[in-house]
Amino acid sequence: MNQTAHETRSTPAPDEPRDQTPDINREKILQSAASEIHRCGFQAASIAKILSDTGLTKGALYHHFPSKQQLGLAVVDEVILPSLAERILDPLRHAERPVEALLDYLQFRRETMTDESIRLGCPLNNLTQEMSPLDDDFKARLNEILQTWQSVIEQALVTGQAQGQIRPDVDCGSAALFIVSAWEGCWGMAKNRQSVAVFQQCLSQLRNYVLNLGPHSG
């Protein structure tokens, strides 16, 4: 069947550059929304502020994200999860000695925490506390991230057992659940107190817990 002239024109040539403006606009909206949600929480996040920050129209925003909920879920999937993967999940997955990598990360975060980070809190923890009781879609997405995180920690501990860094009697699944829970709890306590020192104290104890899973403790 022959194509009409209109049909022919509507299909770009293989080597014709694609207009990347929609992708750029979508990313601008996503990053602005992530910052706004981090500052204010999802419910209080202002679409008007996001549009002001990006210089885009409401039509442009709703072209990419038909509802505020879908925008928030995209922030979870495309900003919060990749950030966690880059900082924690992937380094642990690829480390030759993941228990040492975990200990190093806890020490690094303890030493580099800032007042601004404590003021705003952990984006994952903030949304987990705010949205889990209110929205099943948010609850499911956030739970999936937490479960993935727990699984990565568990595998790190299992590898540590094989390498002689973790005692054979340690229940790695339960220990991983505690580590993730304690990490998020450190954030919550420090944000409430608005205290870097509280975060550092909590992380020191969490690091000691991991050390005490080793063969010379217990």
Tell me: do 218 and 113 sit in the same domain.
yes
Tell me: do 163 and 137 sit in the same domain.
yes
CA neighbor of 36 nearest in space, from 79, 77, 84: 79
Q: Are 191 and 185 in contact (CB under 8 A)?
A: no
Tell me: do 47 and 101 sit in the same domain.
no
Percent pLDDT > 90 in the chain is 87
Q: Which helix (H) or strand (E) holds 145?
A: helix 136-162
Each residue's pLDDT tens digit, 75-132:
999 999 999 999 999 999 999 999 999 999 999 999 999 999 999 999 999 999 999 9
Asked which of 13-27, 131-145, 151-165, 190-204 is least confident by mean pLDDT, the reply is 13-27
Q: Quick one: average pLDDT of 151-173?
A: 98
Tell me: do 88 and 52 sit in the same domain.
no
Tell me: do 165 and 184 sit in the same domain.
yes
Tell me: do 86 and 140 sit in the same domain.
yes
Residue 3 lies in a domain: no
Predicted confidence at residue 3, as pLDDT, reads 44
Percent pLDDT > 70 in the chain is 90
Residue 8 lies in a domain: no
User: What is the C-alpha to C-alpha distance for residues 185 and 181, in angstroms, rounded to an integer?
Assistant: 6
Mean pLDDT over all residues of the chain?
91
Q: Are 164 and 215 in contact (CB under 8 A)?
A: yes
Q: Is residue 8 scored above 50 in pLDDT? A: no
Residue 34 lies in a domain: yes
Distance set, CA 45 to CA 42, 90, 120, 150 (Å): 5, 30, 14, 29
* Residue 68 banded pLDDT, cuts 50, 70, 90: very high
Residue 171 lies in a domain: yes
Number of domains in the chain: 2
Instruction: Kindly calculate the radius of gyration of the chain based on its CA atoms and give it in whole angstroms.
Output: 22
CATH of the domain at 129: 1.10.357.10
Each residue's pLDDT tens digit, 26-59:
999 999 999 999 999 999 999 999 999 999 999 9
Distance set, CA 124 to CA 80, 90, 131, 141 (Å): 7, 17, 10, 11
Helices (H), 41-163: 47-54, 58-64, 68-75, 81-84, 90-94, 98-112, 115-120, 123-131, 136-162
Q: Quick one: average pLDDT of 145-150?
A: 98
User: What is the C-alpha to C-alpha distance for residues 122 and 145, in angstroms, rounded to an integer?
Assistant: 14
Predicted confidence at residue 187, as pLDDT, reads 97
What are 149's two structure tokens? 């995180």
Residue 13 lies in a domain: no
CA neighbor of 168 nearest in space, from 207, 212, 206, 214: 214
CA neighbor of 39 nearest in space, from 20, 27, 53, 26: 53
Tell me: do 92 and 164 sit in the same domain.
yes
Dihedral sign (CA 110, 105, 143, 166): negative
Helix axes 196-211, 98-112, angle to 10 degrees: 160
In the block, which residue shows the tokens 């000695």?
97
Residue 82 lies in a domain: yes
Residue 46 lies in a domain: yes
